[in-house]
Each structure stands twice: as C-alpha cells, then as structure tokens.
C-alpha cells in the first residue's frame, strides 16, 4: 500500500522532474560545461588582480613624487632641472614643473626627449584592434571600472590638471588614473612645493595592460582547451550511454508492436557496467515474455483439446436421448452426461486456477508461513474426513518457527494438497505416505514419499506438463484433469523455489516429491524479532 504522505525526498525528485524532458546528451554536456563555467570565473579574479596592480602603481607613483619633491626643495633652479630630468629617465615618466602662477616652467620631454609615446589606435594593426575589442568585451562582462579618458591639454597650464588643483588644496601628493587612447592606464601624480610651484608626473603603464592581457590569454587558452576536451569526452560518454539505450528502446518498441520473433535484443556482452546489466536484463525479460507467450499458446491449444473430449461425449449422450426409448439405456446416457458435466466443471475450475496463478502471485504480498504447522493442520483435516483405501499419513513435524518461508499461504497449501492427493491416489491399499519438513543450506525441504509404483526417470519432467496425466489402474477416467502437478510447479517457482521427483531414500518402491523453498530470514518483510 502506498504511503499517505510524501517524503521531502520525494518532493525533491518531483521538483527535478522537468530534467527528464531534456535529452541525456544535453544534460551531460550541461553538467560538464557548468563545471568549466566555474573556471571562467578566473576572469573576475584577473580583473581584481589588475585593480591591485593599478592601486600598487598609484601608491608607488605617490611615493616617487614625494621623493622628487624632497629632492627639489633643496636645489637651485638649474639643479632642479637636472634632478627632474634624471628622475624622468630613471622612472620612464614625463615630469613637468609649473611656476606659482601656473605657467609651465620645465618639461622633461622637451629637454631630454620622450620616454613613452601615446599610441593612436587608428594607426595600429588589426590584431591590436581585436585585442582592444576583446578587452572591452571582457571588461563589460566582469564589470570593470571605466577610467576617464586622458587628453593632453592644448594650453599646458597647472589649471588644466585637476590633480594639481587637488594637491594645492590638500597640500599633499595626489595621484589619478585615466585611460590612454589605446585603453592603457595613464597614471599622474602632482605635489606642491614650498615655493608655490608644483610638479606633475605622468606614466603610461602599458606593462599593466600587457600583464593582464597575457593572463587573460593564458586563461582563455586553458578554458578553450578544457571546453574542447570536456565536449569531446561528454559526447563520448553520451555515445556510450545514449546509443545503447536507443538500441534497447528501439528493440523494446518493436517487441511491444508484436514483432518479438523478429527482434533480437542486444545483450552487449562486452559491457560490464550498468548499461550491460540493463541490456541483459531486458534480453532475459524478452526471452521470458516469448516463453510466456509460447506457454499461453500451448495452454490454449491444450485447453481446447481437453474440452473437446467431454463436450463431444456430452453431445453424443444428449443426441442419443432423443432416439433411445428404453429406460435403462436412457439412465446410462444421463449418467454419462452427468459425469461429463462434472468433468467439465472440474476442468474449468482447474484451468481457471492454473491461468490465474502467475498473475495472482505477482500481486500478492508474501508473509511468513510455518510449513510445519501448515502440513500438520492439513493432515489432521484429511484424517478427520477419512482416508481412501486405508492409506495412512505420517508427518515428522519440525519445531515451531523453524521451517518458515515467505509466501502466500493459500497457494502453498494448494501445493501440499496436490502433492498429498497425488501420493494418496498412487498408494496401495493401507499404504503409508510420509511427509517431512527439514531445513538445510538456507532453504526448507518439504518431501512427500509414497509406496506406489514410482515415476520412471524419463517421465519425471513430463508429469509436470499441463494436462499430462498417468493414473493408477482401477481409477475411473476423467477423475483428474492433469493440472495438479503443473499448478504445483508454477506456485513453487513463483516462490523462487523448485520441485523435483526422485526415488525413495530407502530404495523401496515409490516416488519422492521434493519441494525446495527459500528460508525466511529475520530481515525479510513481515519478520520481526521478539
């Protein structure tokens, strides 16, 4: 019985039900590429790395401009120019000095030549344009802070530089970052001297752009290689999983459409994984289905054949009633008709029982059954009704709760009843039928021995066929349908057991029917410890 409530785990699976609509190949690709997407987060780390480089460069430029200001405080004008020029060459900076009135007094580029040149993007080759485009794309994705554009003022005065105005207000070194036309950082720093003049340093930090581009390129190459390998491996994995499943699904559809005879389910013997196990399970299931269909066809043919004989006899008897006038003959015909009706009733009952066994066992919930207690009760019931031909029953009852199996009590009782009926019918007058129930090798062995003629080895498999009946001499025709042992085997096999025929252990005349059933364990459903 299904539970009344649904567990949180079931709810979680229900929320993931949508994933079943996505093909397995795409899901494998998505999982693997998602892991690589985490690697793509390295671009955010590189952006932070660039920010740290710029901040470190600002701090360094601020220290340099302070050092330059300290060196200029104690020097003459001519000496100051030499110091500025020397600093500019050492630091690869452009250093400018402005008078207290804001006019330009000294420019290292004019005196010593430029140490860097601002690149015009329009004059660069195509690969540079591609590099800047990729820079813009990545910056937009990772949300990089945009710096204001750097432009050289047409009138180079102190008032044209906001960092100089801020340095005069704070009376301290002030550094700013801008972007050159080619998107490389331009770092400037200004500081006011005691005589009212100001100095301004500017640096085109192209090395920062080169470092960031190199790191991004390395990460992109690693990411592209990983994506390519992941996609190829995902497609390979999907091929090894999806293709066999597609073959199995196609074959299963053809079986469903009624083409089981023409369909061969691939067993995939070379695969030792879950797919191979599934393939072999489906193949075995298909084979079992074919055997079941064959058995059903054979059963239908046997039923038709077995029903024709009593029906023909009944028709002949009824037809004869119209022509026979003698009371004695009419009574004989009526007796034949009644016997045929009883035979038909018995056949229909046994046929119905045999046809329902498999379906009923598949729906039945097994429970613990003490075979010793069951056999003892059935023997006592038979003895109370009286035994045929004075046949005796003997049962060596095991201890309680020893011979316990998992099964359906009514079906197991039917097996025992059919075996007892068979043993009693073949026993001579006053014969002894011995029943034992023992436990050995993790199973329960139920044996029924009689003192009859026994079963030849050539017939020990045939007697379990439907409608196969070899009856003892003197028994009236049609008393048995020939389904008893067939029903017993079906029930035993439905309980994961087996039934067989052997000679008596004491070498005396007779047959022994052995029923092997799995022993119930403490962990089985319905078994609890006291």
Mean pLDDT in residue range 60-77 = 86
From residue 139, give the alpha-carbon distance in Å to each of 56, 177, 220, 222, 250. 20, 17, 14, 19, 50
pLDDT per position as a tens digit, 209-243: 899 888 888 888 888 888 788 778 777 777 777 77
Do the domain assignments include residue 3?
no
Asked if the model's pLDDT at residue 408 lies above 90, the reply is: no
Together in a domain, 138 and 178: yes
Last residue of a domain, one of 196, 217, 238: 217
Do the domain assignments include residue 235?
no
Predicted local confidence at residue 516, as pLDDT: 92
Together in a domain, 121 and 152: yes
Together in a domain, 170 and 71: yes
**pLDDT band per the 50, 70, 90 thresholds, residue 493:** confident
Higher-confidence position of 161 and 459 = 161
Are the CB atoms for 211 and 233 separated by under 8 Å? Answer: no
Which of 65-69, 294-298, 395-399 is the least confident region?
Answer: 294-298
Together in a domain, 404 and 525: yes
Asked if the model's pLDDT at residue 5 lies above 50, the reply is: no
Q: What is the dihedral of CA 128, 133, 136, 141, to 10 degrees?
A: -130
Decide: helix, strand or coil at residue 497: coil
Together in a domain, 165 and 91: yes
58/69 Cα distance (integer angstroms): 16
Do the domain assignments include residue 459?
yes
Are the CB atoms for 423 and 455 separated by under 8 Å? Answer: no
pLDDT per position as a tens digit, 112-161: 888 888 888 877 788 777 888 888 888 887 888 888 999 899 899 999 99
Decide: helix, strand or coil at residue 490: helix
Together in a domain, 72 and 103: yes
Together in a domain, 296 and 387: no
Do the domain assignments include residue 509?
yes
Together in a domain, 117 and 135: yes
Do the domain assignments include residue 471?
yes
Together in a domain, 88 and 168: yes
Structural domain of residue 290, as residue ranges?
264-363
pLDDT per position as a tens digit, 180-208: 988 889 999 999 998 889 999 999 998 99
| Domain CATH code at residue 313 | 1.10.287.130
Together in a domain, 323 and 447: no
Asked if the model's pLDDT at residue 370 lies above 80, the reply is: yes
Q: Are strands 367-370 and 104-107 parallel, antiparallel or unpaired?
A: unpaired
Asked if the model's pLDDT at residue 304 lies above 50, the reply is: yes
| Domain CATH code at residue 440 | 3.30.565.10
What's the total number of domains in the chain? 3
Predicted local confidence at residue 386, as pLDDT: 83
Asked if the model's pLDDT at residue 3 lies above 60, the reply is: no
User: What does the longest C-alpha to C-alpha distance in the chain come to?
Assistant: 162
**Neighbour tally for 243: CB within 10 Å:** 12
Last residue of a domain, one of 309, 340, 363: 363
Last residue of a domain, one of 155, 187, 217: 217
Do the domain assignments include residue 12?
no
Q: How would DSSP label each residue in 122-168?
A: GGS-HHHHHHHHHHHHHHHHHTPPPPPBP---SS--GGG-HHHHHHH
Do the domain assignments include residue 36?
no
Q: How would DSSP label each residue in 10-54?
A: HHHHHHTGGGGGS-HHHHHHHHHHHHHHHHHTHHHHHHHHHHHHH
pTM over 0.85: no
| Domain CATH code at residue 78 | 3.30.450.20
Q: Which two tokens stand for residue 502?
A: 């052997």
From residue 516, give the alpha-carbon distance in Å to each of 331, 437, 492. 49, 10, 8
Do the domain assignments include residue 332?
yes
Helix (H) or strand (E) holding 204: strand 198-204
Helix (H) or strand (E) holding 86: helix 77-91
Together in a domain, 277 and 147: no
Averaged pLDDT score across all residues of the chain? 80
Higher-confidence position of 525 and 163 = 163
9/496 Cα distance (integer angstroms): 33
Predicted local confidence at residue 6, as pLDDT: 45
Predicted local confidence at residue 299, as pLDDT: 65
Together in a domain, 298 and 208: no
């Amino acid at each position: 019985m299904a539970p009344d409530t649904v567990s949180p785990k079931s709810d979680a699976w229900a929320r993931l039900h949508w994933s079943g609509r996505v093909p397995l190949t795409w899901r494998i690709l998505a999982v693997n590429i998602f892991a690589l997407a985490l690697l793509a987060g390295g671009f955010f780390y590189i952006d932070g790395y660039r920010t740290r480089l710029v901040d470190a460069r600002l701090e360094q430029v601020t220290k340099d401009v302070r050092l330059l200001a300290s060196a200029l405080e104690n020097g003459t004008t001519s000496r100051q120019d030499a110091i500025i020029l020397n600093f500019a060459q050492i630091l690869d900076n452009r250093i400018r000095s402005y008078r207290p009135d804001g006019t330009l007094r000294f420019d290292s580029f004019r005196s010593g030549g430029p140490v860097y040149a601002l690149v015009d993007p329009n004059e660069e080759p195509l690969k540079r344009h591609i590099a800047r485009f990729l820079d813009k794309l990545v910056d937009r994705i990772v949300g990089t802070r945009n710096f204001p554009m750097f432009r050289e003022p047409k009138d180079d005065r102190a008032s044209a530089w906001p960092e100089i105005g801020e340095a005069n207000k704070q009376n301290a070194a002030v550094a700013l970052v801008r972007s050159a036309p080619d998107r490389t950082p331009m770092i400037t720093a200004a500081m006011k001297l005691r005589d009212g003049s100001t100095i301004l340093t500017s640096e085109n930090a192209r090395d920062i752009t080169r470092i960031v581009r190199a790191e991004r390129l390395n990460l992109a190459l690693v990411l592209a290689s990983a994506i390519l390998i992941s996609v190829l491996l995902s497609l390979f994995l999907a091929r090894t999983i999806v293709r066999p499943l597609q073959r199995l699904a196609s074959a299963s559809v053809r079986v469903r459409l009624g083409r089981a005879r023409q369909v061969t389910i691939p067993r995939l013997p070379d695969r030792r994984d879950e797919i191979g196990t599934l393939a072999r399970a489906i193949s075995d299931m298909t084979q079992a289905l074919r055997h079941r269909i064959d058995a059903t066809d054979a059963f239908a043919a046997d039923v038709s054949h077995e029903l024709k004989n009593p029906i023909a006899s009944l028709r002949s008897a009824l037809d004869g009633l119209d022509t026979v006038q003698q009371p004695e003959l009419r009574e004989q015909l009526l007796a034949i008709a009644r016997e045929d009706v009883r035979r038909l009733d018995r056949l229909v009952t046994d046929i119905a029982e045999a046809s329902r066994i498999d379906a009923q066992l598949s729906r039945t919930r097994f429970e613990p059954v003490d075979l010793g207690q069951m056999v003892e009760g059935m023997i006592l019931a038979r003895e109370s009704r009286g035994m045929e031909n004075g046949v005796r029953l003997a049962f060596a009852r095991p201890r309680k709760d020893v011979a316990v199996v998992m099964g359906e009590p009514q079906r197991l009782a039917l097996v025992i009843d059919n075996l007892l009926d068979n043993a009693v019918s073949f026993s001579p007058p006053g014969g002894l039928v011995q029943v034992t129930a023992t436990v050995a090798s993790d199973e329960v062995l139920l044996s029924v021995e009689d003192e009859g003629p026994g079963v030849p080895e050539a017939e020990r498999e045939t007697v379990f066929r439907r409608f196969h009946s070899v009856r003892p001499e003197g028994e009236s025709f049609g008393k048995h349908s020939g389904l008893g042992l067939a029903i017993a085997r079906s029930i035993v096999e439905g309980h994961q057991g087996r039934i067989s025929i052997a000679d008596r252990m004491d070498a005396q005349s007779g047959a022994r029917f052995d029923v092997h059933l799995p022993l119930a364990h403490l962990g089985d459903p319905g078994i609890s410890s006291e």
